[in-house]
């Protein structure tokens, strides 16, 4: 069993912002095919800012804690600033990750990227629709 | 009985509490009979007498002769000794070892080491309940084989293997037979003659003995190249000053296991069945891993769909329930349990497995508490699970589509 930090265990036992987000306008999934963990991130983006974020995870304590702390780190931030958050920063915020668990923090980074990509695709489609005569 | 812990311990496949009678013996021998059992003087011979008394008790537990028992540091040493040493002594029969796909890592890795030394190692398949495929074993024995090793009961799912049939097949082909009986001894009747094996490994701490001591049964006349060379203790089969306190403790544990075997098995089976029935009734989408009938009486391995094992385990631990999981995440690796994979379980099923292994101190009230706590834990984690959300949405759409 990996040795988890107090912060990580707190986020696992008391995850913040979990569940589906009513009014989300961006949803992204990420998965780790080798270990089987899955994460889904829900965002409500207004203008350039992430106003709300929730997550769902099928995975171990590290994967759940990662989703939890990521939502705290990105709410209120501009999308570009959120995207600049690295998995190392996520791991550091959780008080460090045991060596075998680094891939869990990558899961969060990928879910965020996937959600933002989905949002931007939709925004582009929206702009294109408006352009139509 | 044992001191009641402040938590509900259901991880007896990992280790068991030392019984007070065993601890008393270990302490007394440590303090009063600390002589070297190999010394010729009277003080040394007192220690020797304790070792020989223990040998008789261990032999009686598995239907062996005392002189067929070699004391070791535990199952890992016993298994390594046989896989490397018996095979080496028997290589004239063909440099081939046949083991099963679900052996404990200490058999797997010892065999892998023999593979690096140029031996052929075959892993016999198991079916979906982890029962060894005897047809595949028969086919594997087409080529000359030195040693066949089939575990008596699997440590992860508890399935009891057809070792006697496997031994018959191996004997027909002139191969020697070993069984790793670490999980079985003290839990089900074990008789080396009924099984027809040449070598059998056991470990004291799986049946309320001390850690760091075990035994290897070597049938009279069966060949063995020792793993440890030195002062020729244990008739030259295992050198090293004898762990007299541990061996004496193992003797007491063996005596109590033999005396109480049926009562223990009956009591623990009733509790295990209560746990299995309770979980199945209370928690939807759970699956039994292992054989429903041919299984250790204290063993229950189940998968809980849409959640992950380590997350369940840590949540249960916080509530004072102790068990184990086959999830990769728990081992800090990316590979799920090789046993569940060999059984053909999808990775997701292996990922979501929990092993409960019950013991003497567990009560019906403990079982009911575990069912309640587990139901809450699984529900909480499923509420966070994206695959469970998808499953429920799909089910909702199907219900709507059916015109409800």
Residue A60: active-site member: no
**pLDDT at B1 > cutoff 50:** no
Q: pLDDT tens, B78-121? A: 999 999 998 888 888 889 999 999 999 999 999 999 999 999 99
In a domain, A40, yes or no: yes
In a domain, A90, yes or no: yes
Q: What per-residue string of b and e applies to B305-333 under the rule 16 or more CB within 10 Å gives b?
A: bbbbbbbbbbbbeeeebbbbbbbbbbbbe
Q: Within 13 Å of residue B212, how many CA atoms lie on the same side as its CB?
A: 7
Say if CB B313 and CB B381 are below 8 A apart. Answer: no
Confidence category of residue B329, pLDDT binned at 50, 70, 90:
low
Q: Residue B73 burial by CB count (10 A; 0-12/13-18/19+): exposed, middle or buried? A: middle
A58 contacts B387? CB cut-off 8 A: yes
What's residue A103's pLDDT?
81
How does the average pLDDT of chain B come out, rounded? 95
A19 contacts B383? CB cut-off 8 A: yes
Report the alpha-carbon distance of residue B249 to residue B21 in Å, rounded: 8
Q: Within 13 Å of residue B38, how many CA atoms lie on the same side as its CB?
A: 13
Q: pTM of the entire structure?
A: 0.93
Angle at alpha carbon of residue B16, lines to B14 and B18, rounded to 5°: 145
What's residue B94's pLDDT?
85
The answer to whether residue A126 neighbours chain B at the CB level (below 8 Å) is: no
DSSP E strands: which ranges in B206-311? 214-218, 286-289, 299-304
Q: Are strands B199-203 and B176-180 parallel, antiparallel or unpaired?
A: parallel
What are the φ/ψ torsions at residue A82 (nearest 5 degrees)?
-65, -40
Distances (CA, A) of B255 to A27, B50, B60, B104, B144: 62, 14, 8, 26, 40
Report the alpha-carbon distance of residue A44 to residue A21 in Å, rounded: 8
Q: pLDDT tens, B145-169? A: 999 999 999 999 999 999 999 999 9
Place of tokens 């006349």: B221
**pLDDT at B32 > cutoff 90:** yes
The answer to whether residue A12 neighbours chain B at the CB level (below 8 Å) is: yes
In a domain, A68, yes or no: yes
The full length of chain A comes to 133
B387 contacts A57? CB cut-off 8 A: no
Q: What is the span of the domain harbouring residue A112?
A: 6-131
Residue B322, helix vs strand vs coil? strand
Total H helices, total E strands in chain B = 15, 13
What's residue B161's pLDDT?
98
Among candidate residues B161, B127, B78, the one with its CA nearest the CA of residue B342: B127
> Is CATH 3.30.56.10 what the domain over B20-258 is classified as, yes or no?
no
Instruction: Sketch the domain layout of chain B as residue ranges.
Output: 20-258, 261-392
Report the DSSP beta bridge partners of residue A44. Answer: A52
Tokens of B53: 């008394």
Confidence category of residue B177, pLDDT binned at 50, 70, 90:
very high
Give the A window 80-119 contacts with B, CB below 8 Å: 98-101, 103
The answer to whether residue B385 neighbours chain A at the CB level (below 8 Å) is: yes
Report the alpha-carbon distance of residue B275 to residue B307 in Å, rounded: 19
Out of A33-37, B237-241, B307-311, least confident range: A33-37
Sheet bearing B353-357, strands edge to edge: B286-289, B299-304, B353-357, B324-325
Q: pLDDT tens, B52-74? A: 999 999 999 999 999 999 999 99
What's residue B331's pLDDT?
59
Shortest Cα distance, chain B CAs vs residue A48, angstroms: 26
Percent of chain B with pLDDT over 70: 97
Q: What is the CATH number of the domain that holds A24?
A: 3.90.1010.10
Q: Within 13 Å of residue A70, how many CA atoms lie on the same side as its CB?
A: 37
A9 contacts B347? CB cut-off 8 A: no
Q: Give the pLDDT mean for B368-385.
A: 97
B336 contacts A9? CB cut-off 8 A: no
In a domain, A36, yes or no: yes
In a domain, A55, yes or no: yes
Instruction: Considering the candidates A65, A73, A93, A104, report the single residue annotated as catalytic.
Output: A104
On chain A, the residues whose CB falls within 8 A of the CB of B388 are: 58
The answer to whether residue A58 neighbours chain B at the CB level (below 8 Å) is: yes
Q: Which CATH architecture has domain B261-392?
A: Alpha-Beta Complex (3.90)
Residue A69, helix vs strand vs coil? helix
The answer to whether residue B386 neighbours chain A at the CB level (below 8 Å) is: yes
Say if CB A65 and CB A90 are below 8 A apart. Answer: no
Report the alpha-carbon distance of residue A59 to residue A57 in Å, rounded: 6
Q: Report residues of chain A scoring pLDDT below 70.
A: 1-2, 131-133
Closest by Cβ to B310, choosing from A13, A34, A61: A61
Place of tokens 């537990």: B61
How many domains in chain A? 1
Q: Residue A78 burial by CB count (10 A; 0-12/13-18/19+): exposed, middle or buried? A: middle
What's residue B404's pLDDT?
46
In a domain, A1, yes or no: no
Among candidate residues B132, B92, B109, B36, the one with its CA nearest the CA of residue B343: B132
Shortest Cα distance, chain B CAs vs residue A132, angstroms: 35
Place of tokens 């992950």: B308
Distances (CA, A) of B106 to A93, B82, B113: 38, 11, 11
For B40-82, give the DSSP string. SSHHHHHHHHHHHHHHHHHHHHHT--GGGEEEES-HHHHHHII
Say if CB A47 and CB A79 are below 8 A apart. Answer: no
Shortest Cα distance, chain B CAs vs residue A84, angstroms: 25
């Amino acid at each position: 069993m990996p040795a988890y930090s107090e912060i990580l265990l707190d986020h696992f036992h008391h995850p913040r912002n979990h569940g589906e987000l009513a009014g989300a306008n961006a949803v992204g999934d990420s998965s780790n095919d080798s270990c089987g963990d899955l994460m889904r991130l829900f965002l409500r983006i207004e203008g350039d800012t992430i106003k709300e974020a929730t997550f769902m995870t099928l995975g171990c304590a590290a994967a759940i804690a990662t989703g939890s702390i990521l939502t705290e780190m990105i709410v209120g931030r501009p999308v570009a600033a959120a995207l600049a958050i690295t998995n190392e920063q996520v791991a550091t915020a959780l008080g460090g990750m045991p060596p075998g668990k680094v891939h869990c923090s990558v899961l969060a980074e990928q879910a965020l990227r996937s959600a933002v990509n989905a949002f931007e695709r939709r925004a582009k489609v929206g702009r294109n629709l408006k352009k139509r005569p | 009985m044992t001191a009641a812990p402040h938590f509900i311990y259901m991880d007896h496949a990992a280790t068991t509490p030392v019984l007070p009678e065993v601890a008393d013996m270990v302490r007394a021998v440590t303090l009063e009979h600390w002589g070297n059992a190999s010394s010729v003087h009277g003080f040394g011979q007192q220690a020797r007498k304790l070792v020989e008394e223990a040998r008789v008790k261990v032999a009686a537990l598995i239907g062996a002769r005392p002189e067929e028992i070699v004391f070791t540091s535990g199952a890992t040493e016993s298994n390594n000794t046989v896989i490397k040493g018996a095979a080496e002594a028997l290589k004239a029969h063909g440099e081939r070892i046949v083991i099963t796909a679900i052996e404990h890592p200490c058999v797997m890795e010892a065999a892998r080491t023999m593979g690096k030394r140029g031996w052929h190692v075959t892993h016999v398949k198991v079916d979906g309940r982890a029962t060894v495929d005897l047809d595949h074993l028969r086919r594997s024995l087409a080529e000359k084989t030195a040693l066949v090793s089939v575990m008596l009961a699997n440590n992860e799912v508890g399935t009891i293997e057809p070792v006697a049939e496997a031994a018959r097949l191996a004997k027909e082909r002139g191969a020697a037979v070993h069984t790793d009986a670490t999980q079985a001894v003290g839990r089900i009747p074990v008789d080396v003659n009924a099984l027809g094996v040449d070598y059998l490994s056991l470990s004291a701490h799986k049946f309320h003995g001390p850690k760091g001591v075990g035994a290897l049964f070597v049938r009279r006349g069966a060949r063995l190249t020792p793993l440890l060379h030195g002062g020729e203790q244990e008739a030259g089969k295992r050198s090293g000053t004898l762990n007299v306190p541990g061996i004496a403790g193992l003797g007491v544990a063996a005596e109590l296991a033999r005396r109480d075997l049926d009562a223990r098995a009956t009591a623990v089976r009733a509790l295990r069945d209560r746990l299995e029935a309770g979980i199945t009734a209370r928690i939807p989408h759970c699956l039994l891993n292992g054989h429903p009938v041919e299984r250790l009486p204290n063993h229950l391995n189940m998968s809980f769909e849409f959640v992950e094992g380590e997350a369940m385990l840590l949540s249960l631990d916080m509530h004072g329930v102790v068990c184990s999981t086959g999830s990769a995440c728990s081992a800090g690796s990316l590979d799920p349990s090789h046993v569940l994979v060999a059984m053909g379980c999808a990775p997701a099923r292996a990922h979501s497995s929990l092993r409960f292994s019950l013991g003497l101190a567990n009560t019906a009230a403990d079982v009911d508490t575990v069912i309640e706590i587990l139901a809450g834990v699984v529900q909480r984690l499923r509420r966070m699970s994206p695959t469970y959300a998808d499953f429920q949405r799909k089910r909702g759409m199907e219900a709507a589509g059916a015109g409800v």
